[in-house]
Structure 1
């Protein structure tokens, strides 16, 4: 009996303990519930619709979070979040839904601080008093409580802004200015995740503690951010060249149809000027550190390691990073790198479950400024002033001008704003892209497909641009030592334009007269305003069309082999085949304008319009086709070695061969029997024409790079390239282009350690290098010949058989050689406050020599000589760059700010000047493209002002 009594007392004690626990929970949460009862009721009354079968509980909770806009807090282990559950509800309240879902699972819920806390129920029926007390604690509802603590850095100082998340939920908080935090956890199994930019994240199990102190360690990998450089990658901290880089996710935030336009202002030293606003032709002209030569200033574009590709039509969401090489670091690309290099890397797949991303951007564009034009009445008044100032009588009476001002009769007195008549307020554009990425250790994939569309600003426009594209990036591992990569991409670009150019159309708009009709009141085309033109007509397809279809295929495969018996040695081989096919079709047909003599009416009193044919008297069709193929093959040998964590060596040697050919063909016919047949076969035989051409090219290059650093403190890099180009004669075909750079990380010195808490990374670097420029007219070392096209150079022999003359077109320059850029650069890089604030300042000096230029000034044109270009020009370009950036996060919200400033000034050091020309007329010593003007002293408004001038 005594034993039984003791057992019953024990059971009574446990029941009292359970009741006390429940009472304390009710007391703790009851106060909160009373304070927020109304908001909790509103939250639980939200509508939910679910129809799921055998789905993990945590996934169903995620669906409810999205539908009802609520947040759950729970421990996955405690509530069994991986259990398979089915539920079917339609427009039920959240409380009803949770009761149906959670009650069978023995899970209770409460609204706490705007979140729904899930905990297991205590099921008394499942506990027999005959059982010992050992199993009861496992069935008790865990006690939710507050956990406090301080998060500090490696020195023990509190870290503000650290993100703290309860694992498995979206519940969290951030540390205050002293690194302190407070967070409610549901049970002892709760795990807290501490994360902060530049530090290694930590996961800590709370257990029974009420105070959790955490010290975060600096993430050395974050500090060692990898940047893409020529034929490889380097750690950002140890780069000694002038390199700017931007992540693809940054470009994707400002989605423009043309990728080149999203790069504006994001890369120091890179200036991008939009060439045109016309759909399909709205790319940017790039200048790296301004203009450096009298010739072509375009940089080299390299996409996924393949040079001479284009970046304008790439999808921003496909981009991993963009890097700009601005100084001696570009020397590894040799003959094509004098104007800098832009490296584009596309995204790769990562290990993990498939992730599908859908992006759709809808936008509208509009002209920045539309010129204000005079109305009809003002225009006629100005015409009268012109006539009067010329001593003639006024052409329009005040009564006529008043009629135009009132506009009561639109037939006789129109008032046309030609910009309003031709333009819409906005033009739509849209971009859609879908991608899937994921994979396993043996294969990772990134696959995307997208479309672009741009419409023009014209009303009833014949102008638009359409694009379809795809990309397949595969990376895999065949064995422990062998990796491979496949890059497949393609796009189809369709450009549709009217038969008149945009510049012609804007000229018509500027010269349009406001007292003439765009359209007559009955809807017919207006009259010929000048030279047979009317802009509201020529912007449409009434005059025909100009359709351009471009197909681009870019493919690359590579294999990387780690040599097992030599640690650090690897061989990489790749082959890329690019193809671009262009088909342009220009179809020009007559169009019709209507005029009125202002006097003739029909029997019903309506004006009688006279139709007039404009444009070509007969339909004309010209088709141009070209096919360009480019094969790039290279092999790289890489070796890297670290000795006692003090000396680091990395050496790369490579050989590359580029070959390609371009074939073009054109055909022309006119005298078509109908405008309904826009194919060559339907044209007449008279005045037809056709032609074609083929060109080939080849390059052979050897290049290398050697890096050394001592304790990540003293840095050295040497790059070189021995370039062979088909553009030059055999005796001058190869050129050697070296580059060297040095760096000193002051922040790694012992004397800097007291300052490291403020300025964590400080580096001084400098570089010098030579690069070449072969962006010139090809084969200047050869004489060229061509058949005459002028009628006076065609002779008739043997019964009216025409024979063309084969004549010399160019005098060769057999000494033509490389244009050389001598580049120097010095810079300071610094980061402050644990890499939150970054700063870079650079100064550069670029001397360009051997620029090809004509001697037309010293040898007058009256001599009758057409001389070849010679390597005589010299240009100096110097300037500075500054960049400052700040990044931080507030909990889950991260932000970054950056600004950059560039200044450069060039001047001509030498080119051909006319002998004996006065100094004030010389261009030498002045910036390129400086014009010769009179020096203005002002405007004399009357004779008195003239007499008063000294």
Structure 2
């Protein structure tokens, strides 16, 4: 049985310093918070206020933000929807409240730090002073028995006679007589009235109001109340994500949504977007979900995580069908922050941190490496040791003669992967009046890579403006956004750099001060000589929208979107000279390389216009109807250019001085257009029965038959609203849902249907002379059409104990048909590539579960959530074929998961020659691929029992996508402290870690895992680690020997924060300050044995990837 390993942070000097600072800061803040009451008593009573037609609630919030008073009122006691206009500077709170309540039926009373709102005294209930008064005392608590400070207690017949509870929930009030009644109220709790009945002690428990069902959720082309949703939609509120050191929005979604497999595939700056699959793999091609940002199709990289206002994930066909052919893989709807009426607010968020590798394998070094490498070569050469393995050569390493030339404790991994800094700053300015709202934000990310030469700098800008005209009947929106990102990489690319790190022997340094760079250090040598690989990305998004309320319930919306993107890559590789260490220990100078300059540029422009008409009305007293109809037109143009020259006379990156004879130029372009019509009908009957129907008709220039129609329907039943459940007090909500729908998928690339593919770089022989030639290598198939996705979804939502505990469950079946694939064609056609045809099919079945708890224990606020989802993927058709094998290690097979790992099963190691003879038919052959089996070799299973190991013995080994995806969030609040823990994990997934490091001396001399010191040998016959060889073919055979259980559970994020009390911010113009410390990728539990991070690209079959990073950071949030 494999044991779970725990991947812990390495206690390097940098980490120790950060943790020490975090401990000191936490201790200081704790002591600070416990002594606040000793030195702060003064009340701030003057505020600045400038609002127009603002609601009473908004005014009270604005006043609270500037003073130390807290308001106590109940929604059934005051008209909180009433609007007022006030413009004042340094005005007393009491003066402003007089203005707010002018003409109303309410007054206020100040008691300590509270301002209580009460109805004016009714003349019919004036108390006779001669009546006998009694004093009533008691305690007000919540359902957990915890006291409620600040609760409102007043006499029902005389609401001017009232008090509020103290910090322990106690109260004392004189009432007019023993026949009076007391009313108890507090925000978030149901108001209760109790008859005094001559009692002098009355304790009461207030019951929390039911919450959550009135929450508004963003859906396609609109919003709906959460209670009325009939599809599978999840909403993510980003407040809890703001304190994490997130470099991109895709990572922010990880663990927040049931049914979404989100994996951080790399820690590389500028290339760290997560892989996102909603309800599994949906096609053989692109399975990315559609992303809509403020109504415009975009990319998650386009939006700064700190600009997020709301995220909705649409998962089933009924929810996504309104977006038609682009939505078969799910939809992510993002709403960014908008301005609110009131004075200008400034919100700053920033953090600084240090990044480190989460985990890397330990490798053999120095003498141990050389001795085992010599043994491997001897095993491959009938016991003959290599000539370099002699006393003189080994003496230099054993005795540390020259640490630079003969390193004894050097490895490339430790020398290459470093600690790296990360800084992020973000400022948002927002505010507005009745007629104009604005929100403008600027963010700047500066992230160094853990590999020297890799970094990214990203400037993001976003501005949202909203104007109102014609008594708010006309609304105009202008959204401007974009970013400028510069990413630097090593000259040959990060894959090459990491390859060199893993292939380089530990006996050769990257750099020898007295000599120079060795060949394995070419990327860093190029950097020292001015070489670079720089990518510049500059997308710009402009959206203009108008909304006009023509009649009551009738609204027309229109928008125009422009998305422009420019990307440029330039690579300068200067002329360099490297040295290599020979087997005799001598350095040999190489031939200077040829300098080269490459430039690639691509631009794209998307134009989209969208118009809708929306009608809402009520039919009688029982039916709410909403109808939507619209159309969308979109066009895209793309261009790409490339140029390069080599053989530069000097190391100057100017294209003009390169050798013209080496010049290469290229270009490509494509364009497309789409037209769509869509409609949706919603019916809500008695707030119990919901029906929704959607249809979309899409036209695409990618197909000969351009049009497709995609319908959907869903129903919902709020069982908890039925009369037969009225007596079930603990049940706050129970809703059953079901949906069905069809979607198209046209993400198949451009011109697959319309054009043949031609290769013009060919030659042919005529009369013994070679001539240039061109040939068609792939024929077009004009019958190519939409891939079709059909989905059935059933689920329920439940809430109990006033919705303190809520849960959601969904079961779905998703069938994808007419998937594009290439079928074999006759060789007589002379084609090197088969055409794409609609031939394959795939099915996903799964369940999704999410549970949340929001409550309180004494002074501790608790919010917890758990998500779990499972998706079973199966290929159901391959155009009549049973299976297709790819790259000798992946297989598509009918009845099996997509992209399954394929190879040989193993049965341990051969322990002796007798073991080999009993397993194989030595008369036919005793090994695979012409290699003679030896004791200590891997024992491949002979599945067909013919006594020979052949390709026919291969079988399914594992799958790259997990059976279960799990996450858990726990947020705790105590006084001014907050603690957040985020766990994430996957279970039932495999990883094929075959290649560098895991195979000994790969290619002859590569870095080798330290576990091979315990490899099988005649002196160590009980080892389960294979015999050492220097022949790479011995270790290139794909088998489950290198297959690992890649399940893991990760403490993805830990955040500890403290909010400075407002009293301490008096007079400095600051309304809010929060400081925090954070650790990302803090701990990992996994069974993987080779020392690699388990969170990696799904089908990666080797170890050549940029590692995940652990980030220690400290940050601050300041509001002005």
Query: What TM-score, normalized to structure 1?
Result: 0.75
What does residue 910 of structure 2 align with? Answer: 940
Could you tell me how far apart the structure 1 residues matched to 2:720 and 2:38 are? 59
Give distance in 2, aligned partners of 1:463 and 1:320.
Answer: 32
Per mean C-alpha deviation after superposition, the further-off stretch among 284-293 and 509-518 is 509-518
Q: Which residue of 1 aligns with 2:489?
A: 497
Partner of 2:431: 438
- 2-side partners of 1:690 and 1:922: how far apart? 38
Contact 2:294–2:334 (CA under 8 A) maintained in structure 1 = yes
Q: Which residue matches 2:15? A: none
Correspondence for 1:834: 802
Residues in 2 aligned to 1:350 and 1:444: alpha-carbon distance in whole angstroms = 6
Displacement of 1:364? 2.1
Which is worse superposed, 571-580 or 777-786? 777-786
Q: Aligned-pair distance for 1:174?
A: 9.0
Question: Where does residue 907 of structure 1 map in the other structure?
Answer: 874
Q: Which of residues 879, 893, 900 in structure 2 aligns to 1:923?
A: 893
More helix by share: 1
Partner of 2:179: none
Distance in 2 (CA, whole Å) between partners of 1:201 and 1:662 is 62
**Distance in 2 separating the partners of 1:201 and 1:466:** 54
Q: Which residue, 629, 637, 644 being the options, matches 1:668?
A: 644
- Which residue of 2 is the match for residue 659 of structure 1? 635
Q: 1:852 aligns with which of 804, 809, 820?
A: 820
- Aligned pairs for 1:106-117 (under 5 A) are none
**Structure whose CA Rg is larger:** 1
After superposition, residues 241-320 of structure 1 pair within 5 angstroms as: 241-307=231-297, 309-320=298-309
Higher relative contact order (CA 8 A, sep 6+): 2
- Partner Cα distance (1:703, 1:118) in 2: 55
How far apart are the structure 1 equivalents of 2:342 and 2:348? 18
Deviation at residue 860 of structure 1 after TM alignment: 6.2
In the TM superposition, residue 644 of structure 1 has moved relative to its aligned partner by: 4.3
Q: 8 Å contact 1:300–1:342 — kept in the other structure?
A: yes
Matched with 2:7 is none
1:348 aligns with 2:338: yes
What SS class does the counterpart of residue 370 from structure 2 fall into? Answer: helix
CA distance 1:445–1:908, shift in 2 (3 Å): same
Distance 1:478 1:200 in 2: 39
SS at 1:312 equivalent: helix
Q: Distance in 1 between matches of 2:283 and 2:680?
A: 27
Q: Are 2:683 and 1:683 aligned?
A: no
SS in 2 for 1:685: strand
1:779 maps to which of 751, 754, 764: 751
Contact map agreement 1:146 1:182 (CA 8 A) in 2:
no
Separation in structure 1 between the aligned mates of residue 625 and residue 70 of structure 2, nearest angstrom:
51
Return the alpha-carbon distance in structure 2 between the equivalents of residues 85 and 223 of structure 1: 39
SS state at 2:502 partner: helix
Query: Separation in 2 of the partners of 1:748 and 1:159?
Result: 29
How far is the alpha carbon of 1:597 from its aligned partner?
7.4
How far apart in 1 are the matches of 2:36 and 2:881? Answer: 86
TM alignment of 1:682-761, pairs within 5 A: 682-729=657-704, 732-755=705-728, 757-761=729-733
State the match for 2:565 in structure 1: 580
Contact 1:850–1:873 (CA under 8 A) maintained in structure 2: yes
Confirm or deny that 1:181 pairs with 2:166: no
The equivalent residue for 1:506 is 498
Q: Distance in 2 between matches of 1:830 and 1:75?
A: 33
Distance across 2 between alignment mates of 1:193 and 1:539: 75
Say whether residues 1:457 and 2:445 are aligned partners.
no
Does 1:321 pair with 2:305? no
Residues 733 and 173 (structure 1), Cα distance of their counterparts in 2 relative to 1, 3 Å cut: farther
Contact 1:467 1:491 in 2 (8 A): yes
Corresponding residue for residue 140 of structure 2: 150
Q: Is the contact made by 1:543 and 1:590 (CA closer than 8 Å) also made in structure 2? A: no
Q: What is the correspondence of 1:406-417 to structure 2 with a 5 Å cutoff?
A: 406-415=399-408, 417=410
**Per-residue deviation, residues 9-38 of structure 1 (Å, max 9, x unmatched):** xxxxxxxxxxxxxxxxxxxxxxxxxxxxxx
- Say whether the 8 Å CA contact 1:721–1:736 is kept in structure 2: yes
User: Counterpart in 1 of 2:1051?
Assistant: none
Matched, 1:869 2:836: yes
**3-state SS, counterpart of residue 754 of structure 1:** coil
Specify the alignment match of 2:397 in structure 1.
404
1:664-698: CA deviation from partner (whole Å, max 9, x where unpaired): 2222223333223x222333322223233332211
Distance 1:793 1:674, change over 3 A: farther
User: C-alpha displacement at 1:643, in angstroms?
Assistant: 3.2
Cα shift at 1:374: 0.5
Task: Look up the match of 1:366.
Answer: 356
Point out where structure 1 has 5 or more consecutive residues left out of the alignment.
1-38, 60-70, 77-81, 87-115, 120-144, 186-191, 203-209, 601-606
In 1, distance between residues paired with 2:742 and 2:399? 70
2:991 alignment partner in structure 1: none
The partner residue of 1:767 within 739, 743, 749 is 739
SS in structure 1 of the partner of residue 798 of structure 2: strand
Q: C-alpha separation between the residues in 1 aligned to 2:582 and 2:897?
A: 56
Which residue of structure 2 lines up, in the alignment, with residue 571 of structure 1?
556
- Asked if 1:418 is matched to 2:411, the reply is yes
CA distance in 2, matches of 1:794, 1:578: 52
Matched residues in 2 for 1:915 and 1:200: separation?
64
The Cα of 1:214 is off from its aligned counterpart by: 9.3
- Aligned equivalents of 1:916, 1:550: Cα separation in 2: 41
- Check conservation: 1:304, 1:345, Cα contact below 8 A: yes
**Cα distance in structure 2, aligned partners of 1:83 and 1:581:** 48
Q: 1:447 is matched with which residue? A: 440
Residue in structure 2 matched with residue 188 of structure 1 by the alignment: none
Partner of 2:463: 472
| Structure 2 residues not aligned, in runs of 5+ | 1-31, 49-66, 73-87, 93-110, 115-134, 154-162, 174-182, 193-199, 920-944, 946-1120
Match of 1:823 in 2: 791
| Aligned position for 2:118 | none
Deviation at 1:863, TM superposition (A): 6.8
CA distance in 2, matches of 1:694, 1:855: 27
Q: Sort the Cα spacing of 1:736 and 1:585 in 2 relative to 1 into closer, same or farther, 3 A.
A: same
CA contact (8 A) 1:498 1:546 kept: yes
**1:158 positional shift:** 8.6
After superposition, what is the alpha-carbon deviation per residue over 1:208-244, rounded to whole angstroms, capped at 9, x for unaligned?
Answer: xx99999979767852111111111111111010111
Q: How far 1:786 moved relative to its partner?
A: 5.1
CA distance in 2: counterparts of 1:849 and 1:649, whole angstroms:
34
The alpha-carbon deviation at position 883 of structure 1 amounts to: 0.8
Count matched residues.
Answer: 784
The aligned runs of 1:508-547 (5 Å cut-off) are 508-522=500-514, 524-528=515-519, 533-534=520-521, 537=524, 540-542=527-529, 544-547=531-534
Instruction: Give 1:139's aligned residue.
Output: none
TM-score normalized by structure 2? 0.64
Which residue is equivalent to 2:22? none
C-alpha distance in 1 between matches for 2:905 and 2:794: 39
- In structure 2, what is the equivalent of residue 106 of structure 1? none
Distance 1:268 1:834, change over 3 A: same
- Secondary structure of 1:281's match? coil
**Are 1:747 and 1:761, in contact at CA under 8 Å, matched by a contact in 2?**
yes
Residue 558 of structure 1 pairs with residue 545 of structure 2: yes
Q: Which moved more, 1:537-546 or 1:215-224?
A: 215-224
Partner residue, 2:1085:
none
> In the superposition, relative to structure 1, how do residues 183 and 685 fare at CA in structure 2: closer, same or farther (>3 Å)?
farther
Q: Is the 8 A contact 1:416 1:516 kept in 2?
A: no
